[in-house]
Structures are given as C-alpha cells and as structure tokens.
Structure 1
Amino acid sequence: MLPEDVRALALMLPEAVAGVHKGNPDFRVGGRIFATLWVEEARTVLRLPPSDQRRLVEAGPDLFSALPGAWGRRGWTSLDLDPCDEASLRDALLTAWRATAPAGLVSAYDPA
C-alpha cells in the first residue's frame, strides 16, 4: 500500500479530517488523532485499544508492531505499508477510528 491509499481510506471514514502532527500528515475524528502517516518510512501509526493491538500484532507480526515504551503500552501501533494489503489497512484504520471517534458517531456508523 502507498501513502495515498492511507489518505484515501482514512478520509472515507465518517467525519475524518486530515491534519499535521509534528510535520507528519495525520487523520483525526472529533479533534483527536487516530492515525499518523510517516511517508518516508512507508508506515502509519494507529491509535488502537491494547486488546486490538495484541490481536493485530499476533495475526500479522510482519505488518504490525507496538511502538516502544509507554506509547506502545497505550496501544499506539506501527503498520508497515510495504507488505500491507488493502483489507488489513482498512481493518486497522477502522479499528483506530472506532477507538477514537465520539461514541455517538460510532453508534451511528455501527448501529447495534
């Protein structure tokens, strides 16, 4: 996958907007970052619940890795774009969006 794919898929999510965090493109919902794109490194960093982080790292250790230190313990996870397929990227972005978006927006998107 390419950085352009991350941008396109992230901005398809409800109320997602593009921004910049420390010089890197990011994607936000409700004013909070759910993904940051590291273009030169061909990776994106996602805000995931720790349980989802564990699930994704275990299922795809060649794609996903927890960030070092406290950031990783809080669920921030790196996704390597080079070997990533569209389904994995979509799943990861949606998981990060759901973890970050206001509850009312998530429930409107995912009615029970």
Structure 2
Amino acid sequence: MVTLELFRRLALSFTEVNEQPHFEKISFRVGKRIFATYDAKKNQACLKLNEIDQSVFSAFDSSIIIPVPNKWGKQGWTFFDLDKVREDMFEDAITTAYHNVVKK
C-alpha cells in the first residue's frame, strides 16, 4: 500500500519538482510538465509513462495498474491503485514517470 505521505516523499525527492493543485487532485510537476497526480477520493495515482513502460507495468497486474481508458491512456497516462500496489513497484513507476518527463 502506498500512502499519500509516501507518494509525496517520493515525488518531491526528485530535482526541481513542485506540488500544485490540478482540478480536484494534487499534481507533481517539473516546471509546467506533470508527471504524477494523486486522487484522494480514490486513493489513486496517475503517472505519465511511455507506451512501453505502461505495457510493462500493466502486465504485472492489470487490476492494479490500468492505462487510462481514453486518448490520455494512449499517451501513457496510467492509473495505479495505491491500496494494492507494492511500494517498490510504485517507486520504480514514479521514478520512470519523472525521467520520462525530464527527458522531453
């Protein structure tokens, strides 16, 4: 299980990351680019992965890690059920999301 405290600690551990509101969610950004959001109502993260990373993480358990079911999902945005995902898996995923956004 990943708590908001752990999510926040991981996200803010990266260089030049800031936390800002994003509609009814919390977003974590590098500059203006979002790499992760947190939905408190669902205890759910949404991370910006590339297509290959999305496929790899989703293959682990498609009931816990789910591509967003619309055009955003085709762009790599992926939901993570924070009640069920392993901490080490989430740490790998958020690190990947951060690096994908920083590269651009």
TM-score bracket, normalised by the shorter chain, equals over 0.9
Matched, 1:27 2:23: no
Once the two structures are TM-superposed, the CA of residue 102 in structure 1 deviates from its matched residue by 4.3
Aligned equivalents of 1:62 and 1:92: distance in 2? 16
Is contact 1:30-1:101 (8 Å) kept? no
Match of 1:84 in 2: 85
Aligned equivalents of 1:97 and 1:71: distance in 2? 17
- Stretches of structure 2 lacking an aligned partner (at least 5 in a row): none
Output one character per residue of 1:55-99: Cα deviation in whole Å (capped at 9) or x when no partner.
Answer: 100123232000011011111000000012221111110010011
Matched length? 103
Match of 2:64 in 1: 63
Larger Rg: 1
- Stretches of structure 1 lacking an aligned partner (at least 5 in a row): 104-112
Q: CA RMSD in A?
A: 1.2
- The TM-score normalised by the length of structure 2 is 0.92
- The TM-score normalised by the length of structure 1 is 0.86
| One-letter amino acid of the counterpart of residue 76, structure 2 | G
| One-letter amino acid of the counterpart of residue 26, structure 2 | P
Matched, 1:100 2:101: yes
Is contact 1:64-1:79 (8 Å) kept? yes
